[in-house]
């Protein structure tokens, strides 16, 4: 009886939280802390000129944007595979349209939870048309 009292509410809570998941969640590490890479920088990122440079720890990728199988999910297809493009910045999102050839700068976040079910999560800090 004690197991039922703890397992059923825990399973219900897990099911409810899974239904509310989206790709805008802030990741939390095993210790309950928010990783430094998930904290927004003070300056809002902007769509950059055709030349982009990566800050230390960032990666530059070039490829074609495509729509994911889930709504509001965008992938960048390049020679290394599919990268799930993550950004909340409206200017960056407007540059990330299916079919667009772009160069993006950002950080790969393999542990980031999303509902897109495709690609390696990549948090975008800048975008330029290729």
Whether the CB-CB separation of 43 and 89 falls below 8 Å is answered with no
Average of per-residue pLDDT across 42-55: 50
Average of per-residue pLDDT across 18-41: 50
Give the tokens for residue 41: 């920088």
Return the bridge partners of 63, or none: 102
Q: Is residue 104 left, alpha or beta, with left meaning phi > 0 and alpha meaning psi from -120 to 50? A: beta
Q: What is the pLDDT of residues 50-60, one digit of tens each?
A: 455 667 889 99
> What is the C-alpha to C-alpha distance for residues 43 and 119, in angstroms, rounded to an integer?
27
| Residue 19 reports pLDDT greater than 60 | no
Give the tokens for residue 18: 């899974």
The confidence band for 130, taking pLDDT boundaries of 50, 70 and 90, is: confident
Domain definitions of the chain by residue range: 2-129
Q: What CATH number does the domain located at 2-129 have?
A: 2.40.50.140
């Amino acid at each position: 009886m004690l197991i039922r009292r703890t397992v059923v509410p825990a399973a219900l809570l897990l099911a409810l939280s899974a239904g509310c998941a989206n790709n805008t969640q802030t990741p939390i590490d095993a210790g309950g802390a928010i990783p430094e890479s998930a904290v927004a920088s003070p300056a809002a990122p902007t769509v950059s000129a055709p030349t982009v440079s990566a800050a230390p720890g960032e990666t530059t990728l070039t490829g074609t944007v495509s729509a994911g199988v889930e709504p509001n999910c965008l992938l960048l297809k390049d020679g290394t595979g599919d990268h799930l493009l993550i950004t909340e910045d409206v200017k960056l999102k407007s540059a990330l349209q299916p079919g667009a050839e772009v160069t993006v700068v950002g950080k790969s976040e393999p542990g980031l939870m999303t509902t897109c079910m495709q690609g390696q999560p990549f948090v975008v800090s800048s975008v330029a048309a290729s």
